[in-house]
Structure 1
């Protein structure tokens, strides 16, 4: 199903030593005076909620519709971008999200809406009772037992819990109707937990949407990746813990082979963790804690973002998940990053760009919340590839030289090739280099190729070149030659578009519009950067 971004509505209204990892308890410099503190963010959310009524009236929403503030961004000049979720008669409206853009004086200039459809339901009484809807949702998931949606996903083997069916309004496809939202939990053959969110029509029981909430990055590793790095720890009595108070209390726990629970906080008495070998249970924990720290620092020092949710709270990392588990995943429900130990429990999946990729799913969830299917799903996956790559460049480790290859050290294919290539995505045999009308039908890991290619071209330009010892040769769909504006500017443009203009239903056309707006905001509408964004989208056939 193709997602569309509604037209903009304009309102007239208002760092390595061999051996033991040396760990310091000293706070690591964490400059970012522009970042929002928890109180400031709360004040902005309160401001947005205070204006919700007026905004709803200006948008001519119906009397049964209300707006609830989700996020707020304020530019240096006072320009405000208020992100809202919508309800109808008290029911959540899926696909009803919007972003209101205001001048410093509070006057509204434009609105980006996930759907432009008018919500007017003939009845709020479902024809199917909630318990039957829950059973139907469970049945739909059970029918996929033994089947994998794509080659990167392990088959579902069990469904062991069904969440309560919640009445909602489905508006994502532009045809609002009464529906149920149900969470069905289970487990996959490789031990990955499954939490599928299904939306079913409240009249017919038809499955309108289904996506996996546990985002995974399949692969096998070759040991510990980051080498000797500094860590910030917490001393408790005679014990030192992998818990970082300078980064929102983010901490690393060991599950000791279990697949549930919070695990045990990694700690010892020497304030030195691991020895760089996977046979030492602390070595994977060092990778995980460092990966979380550098991801935090990247977002804060690059964008002023104070944690994944921008609320100053650090995420949890869990290592040694299951047995022979060849995977890693981010889960919003526990706000945690989880790593398996790989084949034979000797190859932990703790590579740096895996950490940055998965935790960036959390950033997307907290902002645009791009639907995990169709073109918006491709943009969701690409966002994680883009920022996972940028985390790798930010860390600039000798043991993991930054590049535009995704998962290049985990050797998922068994022949030394990476999971994905940003310079020419089709080199993986499945990803799209350019947009076409059928790209949204691909698995999201492959439809992401269009945006990954866009980002590489925008940052580095087209043609043959070598970066950090890796050779690239990036083509364009229209034969154009692009120079590139640098990865730092490209990342700023993508982040602003994600947090300020993208909505849950943004597709590639909408991404073009959003990034052009972002470039204009950051560098000016007549800037070389703005022109480069336009030319680069044309180079991947998004016009």
Structure 2
């Protein structure tokens, strides 16, 4: 009997291993996000053949492991210049739209090539509101706090602006990686002071959880720059009394109006000239800026049409309307702003900070927001908002360069045009608003989470500051640059030219990005866009990859064909007070003094850690004098891709406390890790914001090699092609938010039932007081600190750490 069962077990194992190999063969490449969900899946020839004949939503249902509560609804489909069809699907949960969660299916000749996007795993969320629409609107208006709203102006059609609520599911943006909540969504347009935003109100608590600006300004103090382009010829039209600034040769038209220093659009009038020479408009009232707005809109349309084959901002020829001489306070001191409100361009005349804001790069920037809204629709906060702003700067610079180089525009204002300066011609107080070639010269970061990176909540999470990283990446990609980045990494990028850089960036934005995209995802999508356009291993792909490394996002190119992985640098700039003096894991045990902020121990004998097992890493700090509280972070590059930012690779994230004596931390090696040697990074810092890359003030980083064995990664997705059979699935535990204050949301990757939950402190003692029900662990009664969570599905136990704030 023993031999019989052993043989049966061997046959079963062989069958399962064969199924694994077959499924793995269907996936050529897969990128998994921090939430454990795939961000990009590229199919092999075998995988494409298996998907032939399936619709886009069927492919997503298979490879995202959708539950019966999940729906993916197609909302757009486009065919690009390469002949590829891109279907964009919106996610719904129990019939409710999941905001900012889109997934794309990319096909060629009827065959699915790849899928990418953001899928939110949701379970147990009530979609019945506890707060009425009326009460939620009151909360939204309290949040905006305007003196007057557009529906209160008394103008014609003003009532059309009165907001109505839509029930959606959205992430609570008040905390990083906050939970998905049911919310009322309102489009609130304020007249005094001017603002327009989607305001989301939690439909169960009444809290405002997110404000996503529709009106997007180019600077915190106002908006964007103005420039003057000398004597230009432009298309206009005829009307009673002469000529006016309207033309119909581009799309459905370009129209420019005069607000006459008021805040009313309906009372705005046409600019009219009797002989079509417009010379009298060069007057003390700066009426000549109407010409800047008009030719700026024309040049912007021409750029999108001639360079990217896009017919106006919506790719359907939409009218571009511009309103100049706008003042939010009629007859006031001057409006120092310009914006796109989803319908039109609005330009103020400036005052103490700016000259009139009808600049060419301002126009290109603001209409760039309209293009983003119609493509990636990046949420206007934090990293996605910073890239929303960065993309608009990219298009402002590119359009200005196109207008000068191709359309013959000249510099006619006080300052000359400069491609890599944003708002240079209108800024009265400094060189420009922003510099793409040298962001730090104007207070922006040139390196991801490096110097000048903003971590607060103002300006929607620093969207006009942290955009500098994307700006500088684009400059390096187009022009090229060599040097050493803030993380200490040496790089050399051969520029691909402005035309290729723009085509890669536009494809990244329009084909691959989704509303919640991060800098890390932008890197993945830019590399894929370059691969689509120029081929795998091309000089353009290498330049894209190395430009991202230069600004601190991901590793440098590995040299093609499986070259050596290059890691970003990490270093403490001072060890005058604290440093790492002991690191131990398995057979590794190193005692040391200060190592000048960084020690490379990768040549030491690597300890072996086994997939699926619990391991313990021990760390202590040496101090010069006083023993301070320190943060400890340990990273392991489980998938060996050269970065530590993938899901689960931050294996220790210890809150500040004394580490003058040994502190031990337990973690579990995932079975999805890749076998073989990889890098472990240990970071000791007095700053909680310190990450795996870059320099920081006080502390030390040490790198080591670890050897992973026994892992059995599944590179294919669970699949039920016939609807009758399925292979075994490796489950994973997800929890958010982390750190948390009151509640943790727990889910298993296939929506399996959680049978038991236990919480342990760092000593391994079980902690009472946390209660679990319906996917939610309530931790409000726990003391602040780090805990280990043990979750069971009745068959397997999962371990994960969390921090109670």
- Same fold, TM-score > 0.5, yes or no: yes
Q: In the TM superposition, what is the alpha-carbon distance from 1:166 to its structure 2 partner?
A: 1.9
Is 271-280 or 230-239 further displaced after alignment?
Answer: 271-280
Per-residue displacement from partner, 1:105-142 (whole Å, max 9, x unpaired)?
Answer: 2x323221223x33445432111111111112222333
- Residue 39 of structure 1 is matched in structure 2 by none
Contact between 1:199 and 1:207, CA under 8 Å: does it hold in 2? yes
- Residue 166 of structure 1 is matched in structure 2 by 166
Kindly indicate whether residue 250 of structure 2 is the aligned counterpart of residue 247 of structure 1: yes
Write the distance in 1 (CA, Å) between the matches of 2:183 and 2:383: 23
Q: In the TM superposition, what is the alpha-carbon distance from 1:72 to its structure 2 partner?
A: 2.9
Contact between 1:457 and 1:474, CA under 8 Å: does it hold in 2? no
Change over 3 Å in CA distance of 1:288–1:458 after alignment to 2: same
- Residue 286 of structure 1 is matched in structure 2 by 291
Contact between 1:77 and 1:104, CA under 8 Å: does it hold in 2? no
Write the distance in 2 (CA, Å) between the matches of 1:94 and 1:300: 30
Per-residue displacement from partner, 1:407-452 (whole Å, max 9, x unpaired)?
Answer: 011125x2x42101111211112x1110128756551001101101
**Residue 247 of structure 1 aligns to a residue in which SS?**
coil
Contact between 2:323 and 2:347, CA under 8 Å: does it hold in 1? yes
Q: Which has the higher contact order (CA 8 A, sep 6+)?
A: 1
Write the distance in 1 (CA, Å) between the matches of 2:496 and 2:188: 44
Kindly indicate whether residue 171 of structure 2 is the aligned counterpart of residue 138 of structure 1: no
Any gaps of 5 or more consecutive residues in structure 1? 15-49, 143-155, 465-472
Write the distance in 2 (CA, Å) between the matches of 1:404 and 1:510: 25
Per-residue displacement from partner, 1:236-285 (whole Å, max 9, x unpaired)?
Answer: 46632211211121110111122122422323332222456352564111
- Residue 490 of structure 1 is matched in structure 2 by 501
Q: In the TM superposition, what is the alpha-carbon distance from 1:52 to its structure 2 partner?
A: 6.2
Mapping for residues 409-428 of structure 1, pairs under 5 Å? 409-412=425-428, 414=429, 416-428=430-442
- Residue 435 of structure 1 is matched in structure 2 by 448
| TM-score (norm: length of structure 1) | 0.80
Change over 3 Å in CA distance of 1:56–1:458 after alignment to 2: closer
- Residue 354 of structure 1 is matched in structure 2 by 362
Change over 3 Å in CA distance of 1:365–1:76 after alignment to 2: closer
Write the distance in 2 (CA, Å) between the matches of 1:447 and 1:461: 21
**Residue 129 of structure 2 aligns to a residue in which SS?**
coil
Contact between 1:318 and 1:339, CA under 8 Å: does it hold in 2? yes
Kindly indicate whether residue 396 of structure 2 is the aligned counterpart of residue 388 of structure 1: yes
Change over 3 Å in CA distance of 1:77–1:338 after alignment to 2: closer
Q: Which residue of 331, 347, 360 corresponds with 1:339?
A: 347
Write the distance in 2 (CA, Å) between the matches of 1:274 and 1:290: 15
Any gaps of 5 or more consecutive residues in structure 2? 1-32, 152-161, 555-805
Write the distance in 2 (CA, Å) between the matches of 1:516 and 1:439: 26
Kindly indicate whether residue 410 of structure 2 is the aligned counterpart of residue 401 of structure 1: no
Contact between 2:39 and 2:118, CA under 8 Å: does it hold in 1? no
Change over 3 Å in CA distance of 1:537–1:285 after alignment to 2: same
Contact between 1:93 and 1:168, CA under 8 Å: does it hold in 2? yes
**Structure ID, larger Rg:** 2
- Residue 540 of structure 1 is matched in structure 2 by 551
**Residue 511 of structure 1 aligns to a residue in which SS?**
helix
**Residue 417 of structure 2 aligns to a residue in which SS?**
coil
Change over 3 Å in CA distance of 1:345–1:514 after alignment to 2: closer
Kindly indicate whether residue 122 of structure 2 is the aligned counterpart of residue 109 of structure 1: no
Q: In the TM superposition, what is the alpha-carbon distance from 1:344 to its structure 2 partner?
A: 8.4
Contact between 1:223 and 1:277, CA under 8 Å: does it hold in 2? no
- Residue 378 of structure 1 is matched in structure 2 by 386
Write the distance in 2 (CA, Å) between the matches of 1:278 and 1:363: 34
Q: In the TM superposition, what is the alpha-carbon distance from 1:224 to its structure 2 partner?
A: 6.4
**Residue 491 of structure 1 aligns to a residue in which SS?**
helix
Per-residue displacement from partner, 1:356-392 (whole Å, max 9, x unpaired)?
Answer: 1111000000100011111111100000000100011
Mapping for residues 358-369 of structure 1, pairs under 5 Å? 358-369=366-377
- Residue 39 of structure 2 is matched in structure 1 by 7
| TM-score (norm: length of structure 2) | 0.55
- Residue 27 of structure 1 is matched in structure 2 by none
Contact between 1:278 and 1:347, CA under 8 Å: does it hold in 2? no
Write the distance in 2 (CA, Å) between the matches of 1:440 and 1:3: 20
- Residue 159 of structure 2 is matched in structure 1 by none
Is 353-362 or 397-406 further displaced after alignment?
Answer: 397-406
- Residue 98 of structure 1 is matched in structure 2 by 103
Per-residue displacement from partner, 1:36-77 (whole Å, max 9, x unpaired)?
Answer: xxxxxxxxxxxxxx9565456445544555444443332344
Kindly indicate whether residue 87 of structure 2 is the aligned counterpart of residue 82 of structure 1: yes
Write the distance in 1 (CA, Å) between the matches of 2:92 and 2:195: 28
- Residue 517 of structure 2 is matched in structure 1 by 506
**Residue 390 of structure 1 aligns to a residue in which SS?**
helix
Write the distance in 2 (CA, Å) between the matches of 1:65 and 1:259: 45
Q: In the TM superposition, what is the alpha-carbon distance from 1:201 to its structure 2 partner?
A: 1.8
Write the distance in 2 (CA, Å) between the matches of 1:447 and 1:270: 47
Mapping for residues 188-337 of structure 1, pairs under 5 Å? 193-218=194-219, 225-236=228-239, 239-248=242-251, 249-262=253-266, 263-275=268-280, 277-279=282-284, 282-322=287-327, 323=332, 324-332=334-342, 335-337=343-345
> Which structure dedicates a bigger proportion of its chain to helix?
1
Contact between 1:3 and 1:506, CA under 8 Å: does it hold in 2? no
Write the distance in 1 (CA, Å) between the matches of 2:282 and 2:130: 59
Write the distance in 1 (CA, Å) between the matches of 2:207 and 2:488: 39
Contact between 1:463 and 1:475, CA under 8 Å: does it hold in 2? no
Is 223-232 or 63-72 further displaced after alignment?
Answer: 63-72
Write the distance in 2 (CA, Å) between the matches of 1:181 and 1:477: 45
Write the distance in 1 (CA, Å) between the matches of 2:353 and 2:381: 32
Q: Which residue of 522, 526, 530 corresponds with 2:533?
A: 522
Contact between 2:225 and 2:424, CA under 8 Å: does it hold in 1? no
Change over 3 Å in CA distance of 1:265–1:227 after alignment to 2: same
**Residue 347 of structure 2 aligns to a residue in which SS?**
strand
Write the distance in 2 (CA, Å) between the matches of 1:409 and 1:253: 22
Write the distance in 1 (CA, Å) between the matches of 2:320 and 2:341: 10
**Residue 216 of structure 1 aligns to a residue in which SS?**
coil
Q: Which residue of 460, 463, 468 corresponds with 1:449?
A: 468
Write the distance in 2 (CA, Å) between the matches of 1:514 and 1:477: 25
Change over 3 Å in CA distance of 1:57–1:252 after alignment to 2: same
Change over 3 Å in CA distance of 1:487–1:474 after alignment to 2: farther
> Which structure dedicates a bigger proportion of its chain to strand?
2
Change over 3 Å in CA distance of 1:222–1:459 after alignment to 2: closer
Per-residue displacement from partner, 1:283-315 (whole Å, max 9, x unpaired)?
Answer: 111110000000000111110010011001221
Write the distance in 1 (CA, Å) between the matches of 2:226 and 2:57: 55
Q: In the TM superposition, what is the alpha-carbon distance from 1:462 to its structure 2 partner?
A: 2.0
- Residue 24 of structure 2 is matched in structure 1 by none
